[in-house]
Chain A
Amino acid sequence: MSRVVVAGPYPTMPGPEAAATLALVRELVAAGDDVTVVSPAPSAAHHHLDVGGARGALRLARLAADAERLLVRLDAESLAASCDPPRALPGRLGLALAVRRAPLVELRLDRVPPTVSRRWTSLVLAPAARVVVATADERTALLAAGVDPAKVAVEEPPPPPAPPRRSHRPDRASSGGDAPGPAPASAADLEELVRRRAIEERMLAPAAGGPAAGRASLPLRHLSRMERAPVKSDKPAGMLVKRALGKLMAWQFDWVIQHVNQLHQATIDALDEMERRHTSDDTTS
């Protein structure tokens, strides 16, 4: 069993590259290797880091230091492999360090540009034992940039998987189909009673005095008044700091809370007043 670090797109990231990395990891774990997976975005991988950036590449270097093999899938185009922009230098140096930390390194390159920077190949590709590309043209581009021909292999990507079995036909529901028949009168009767009363209630509500007043504002009356969040902390010192900060910031928030609560109450009062006027108009007419 050897320790292997695999870096590349990984499910749930979409695309054939993620599927290919999963297939590679599947092979490695089947062979009994201890695999750590790194992906450029959050996924099912153990870690996610951008190996094109300095921070991500340095973290990859730390992981690679403990591994016997490092297998990295790189998108050459997005790493600007065709030129040498100064802003890419920190990331390149980090990646150069990572590929020098592991005893055995294999790189798989996607989207290799027609012309590749010699500086990039000497920094990133030189320490690799094997570099894999998808086409002969990509291989030619790498050789022109000074990569050792013995290292560069061409492996075509596997064909996309066969479409899955799918069914548009609703299968027969084994736990019963739709309603077996009309409901007994008692359930229907109760539902009918509920519906009729609800309609009557709606019709009667505006004309009713006394108890109906405040109906419109009921949800607002149930809404809790705004207040400052309680100070919580597992640590006593944290509690003290939070309390002190709360006092310092009080002048900023308390008037907002007060204002919102006044608005809340004013809305309730206005709704109640409108309801009272509406009720008295109906009674008068």
Chain B
Amino acid sequence: MVERRLAFVPPRYGTDVVGGSESVVREAAHGLAARGWQVEILTTCARSHYTWQNAYAPGSFSDGGVTVHRFPTVHDGHKLARDTIERRIQLGLPVTGDEERVWLNGDFRVPELFHHLLRHADDYRAIVLSPYLFWTTVNCAVVAPAKTVVMPCLHDEHYAYLGLFRPVLGESGQIWFLSGPEHELAHRLGPLAPHRVTGAGVHVPASYDAAGWRRRRGVERPFVLYAGRRESGKGWDQLLGAYTRAVIDHGLDLDLVTMGVGPVEPAPVVASRVIDLGFVDEAEVPSVFAAADVYVQPSRNESFSRTIMEAWLAGTGVIANAASEVVAWHCRRSAAGITYTDFDELVQALVVAGENPGALRRLADAGRDYVLAEYAWPAVLDRMEAALGELPA
């Protein structure tokens, strides 16, 4: 039944895949499946977004209410040329259209997925592609543009200005944005296809067990939490540097706990105070947020920031980078988080959090109300279904 059949096309899929947009896609797919949609996931066999090597077996399987089809990645691009172009893009230097294509195809390609979609596009009511930055989205957008929905998860970064993405955002059937600032950014980038701000959903945990988690993990001291990929692009280096200075210069009495992937590399002077939880089981994550004294979102490249929502839901205060328009927008609308504009302010924000843990927790109450009103999954799925209803039949 085509009318109720959807395809989601993320570049990676799995419960052990770390990433904000990947989580949004997985939860949206399962949420719509629970509402009676027949949902299929077309994705790659890759787990790591660093190597894109095939880690899962190709083929189809059922994951809860959705059917997953995995296709192998192919690595036959010019990696060296791609890396050179990538550095130029990151520096904001101009690149030609041909170079953009060398860059796009240089990391991985998934021709089998593309041709599967070409064969079966007519079977779907809509094809949802996300996020914007990957081969799967750029290529699959040309298969059936009228029924293609792009959930770009845009950030204001040099990549977003590449000409390669203009047709993706301008010629697809619909664009779904996660936040108002992302929507405004897309308008600044160029003409847009019909679009909606659907937002992204956050699951509201039934309960939290902060004390139990602390006991099980042996974490006794108060701590600052960071969840996500530990990369400079995500602000990890800045957070680590500010934390180090807050400890050395101001005697900050909070540990720094982190969960996610990537090298931690703390300075020796604070190494014993920085705790890496690595990949944390999904069921444990809410309790980690609840156990934290404050959550820091140092990334300036956020299109939604689920982690600040999870912190607020858990009653944990948030310190966020004001350079991220989206995070600052959430903090402004909810009046529930404090933002910093530079390294020194981050140091002071950590110090203030250490001195006034109660004040930040009280702010988090307003944050919890904000998340429940705007970003609980039922409200988001209502908006997604309404948008799907507007697609041409």
Chain A interface size, under 10 / 10 to 19 / 20 to 34 / 35 or more: 35 or more
Nearest to A212 among chain B residues (CB) is B249
Which residues in chain A, 171-191, are within 8 Å of chain B measured between CB atoms? 171, 173-180, 182-184, 186-188, 190-191
B191/A11 in contact, CB under 8 A: no
Asked whether, in the complex, the Cβ of B187 is within 8 Å of the Cβ of A187, the reply is no
Q: Which one of A178, A180, A194 contacts B348 once the chains associate, using CB atoms below 8 Å? A: A194
Least Cβ distance of B40 to chain A in Å? 17
A153-186, CB under 8 A of B: which get 1 and which 0? 0000000000011111011011111111011101
Question: Which residues of the partner chain B approach A186 to less than 8 Å between Cβ atoms?
Answer: 335, 359, 362-363
B245 touches A218 (CB 8 A): yes
Q: Which of A195-203, A228-236, A251-259 contacts B (4 or more CB under 8 A)?
A: A195-203
Q: Does the CB pair B363–A190 fall under 8 Å? A: yes
Is A221 positioned at the interface, with any CB of B under 8 Å from its CB?
yes
- Select one of A26, A182, A187, A211 contacting B249, CB under 8 A: A211
Task: Given the known inter-chain contacts A43-B105, A194-B348, A194-B349, please indicate yes or no for A176 contacting B333, CB distance below 8 A.
Answer: yes
B42, CB-defined interface residue at 8 Å: no
User: In the docked arrangement, what's the CA distance between A211 and B375, Å?
Assistant: 45
| Cα A167 to Cα B183 with chains together (Å) | 12
Whether A197 pairs with B191 at a CB distance below 8 angstroms is: no
Q: Which residue of A22, A29, A48, A175 is within 8 Å of B142 (Cβ)?
A: A22
Which partner residue on chain A sits nearest B167 by CB separation?
A164
Interface residues on B, range: 35 or more
* Nearest-neighbor residue (CB-CB) of B177 within chain A: A173
Chain B residue numbers with a CB within 8 Å of A183 are 332, 335
A168-B332 contact given A44-B111, A176-B374, A198-B344, CB 8 Å threshold: no
A177 surroundings in chain B (CB, below 8 A): 180
Q: Is B383 an interface residue (CB 8 A)?
A: yes
Contact string, B233-249, partner A, CB cutoff 8 A, digits 1/0?
00000001100110011
Instruction: Answer yes or no: A247 CB below 8 A from chain B CBs.
Output: no
Interface SS of chain B: helix
In the complex, chain A residues whose CB is within 8 Å of the CB of B337:
187
A86 interface contact, C-beta 8 A: no
Docked Cα-Cα span, A224 to B183, in Å, equals 40
A-side contacts of B142, CB under 8 Å = 11-12, 22, 44
| Contact indicator A197/B348 (Cβ below 8 Å) | yes
Closest to A208 in B: B249
What per-residue 1/0 map shows which CB atoms of B95-118 lie under 8 Å from chain A? 001000110111001011011001
The verdict on A191 contacting B339 (CB below 8 Å), with A11-B139, A174-B197 known, is yes
Once the chains bind, are B362 and A167 in contact (CB under 8 Å)? Answer: no
Determine whether the beta carbon of B383 is less than 8 Å from that of A174.
yes
Q: Which of B273-315 contact A (CB under 8 A)?
A: none
Kindly state whether residue A25 has any CB partner on chain B within 8 Å: yes
Could you tell me which B residues sit within 8 Å of A by CB distance? 76-78, 97, 101-102, 104-106, 109, 111-112, 114-115, 118-119, 138-139, 142, 145, 164, 170-171, 177, 179-180, 183-184, 187, 191-199, 240-241, 244-245, 248-249, 265, 267, 329, 331-333, 335-342, 344-345, 347-349, 351-352, 356, 359-360, 362-363, 366, 374-375, 379-380, 383, 386
10 A–B pairs (Cβ distance < 8 Å), ordered by A: A41-B101, A43-B105, A46-B112, A168-B191, A170-B183, A187-B331, A190-B338, A194-B338, A194-B340, A198-B348
